Amino acid sequence: MSTSNRRTAAAGLLMTAVLAGCTATEAAVNDVPAAVVEDIENSDVKKVTFSREAAEALGVATAAVTRNGANGQLTMPYDAVIYYLDGTTWAYAATGEREYTRVPVTVASISGANATLSAGPTAGTQVVVVGAPEVLGAELEIDGEQ
């Protein structure tokens, strides 16, 4: 497991709290919420939308899920893999401008900087490769005191 993925909760959640001033979802810059978190009907995951300022400050970046190899297996950068609290694996798919939703992935193998998936988002889906821990912190609405 890479160092960046082991820090999923710690550094990312701290940065989210600092950026937001007090909490991951309340006003920080020009009275604009750093992140808006919305429930998704019939789902345990939430949609996270960052303000332009927050997305820029966090340096959120995405990369596409691809199909590689003779058997066309799904692959994505390993930095997109998030290990959730219960040990399940996820990624954050870009669903709109500065808008992200957690999607399940099943990692079949890891080779260098890439994860080969046995299940996950379709090829072409943009997944967060920089800032995923901050998206998780915002989704879970973790503030600096938790």
User: Is residue 144 included in any domain, yes or no?
Assistant: no
Q: Give residue-wise pLDDT tens across range 97-125.
A: 999 999 999 999 999 999 999 999 999 99
Cβ neighbors of 28 (< 8 A, separation 6 or more) are 19, 20, 21, 34, 53, 54
User: Is residue 122 included in any domain, yes or no?
Assistant: yes
Confidence of residue 70 (pLDDT cuts 50, 70, 90): confident
Number of domains present in the structure of the chain = 1
Q: What is the CATH number of the domain that holds 70?
A: 2.40.420.20
CA angle 64, 67, 72 (to 5 degrees): 170
User: Is residue 102 included in any domain, yes or no?
Assistant: yes
User: Is residue 69 included in any domain, yes or no?
Assistant: yes
Q: Give residue-wise pLDDT tens across range 13-52.
A: 334 444 444 344 444 445 568 999 999 999 999 999 999 9
What is the extent of the structural domain holding 104?
3-139
The 3-state DSSP class for residue 78 equals helix
User: Is residue 146 included in any domain, yes or no?
Assistant: no
| Residue type at position 93 | A
Structure tokens at 86: 């219960």
User: Is residue 29 included in any domain, yes or no?
Assistant: yes
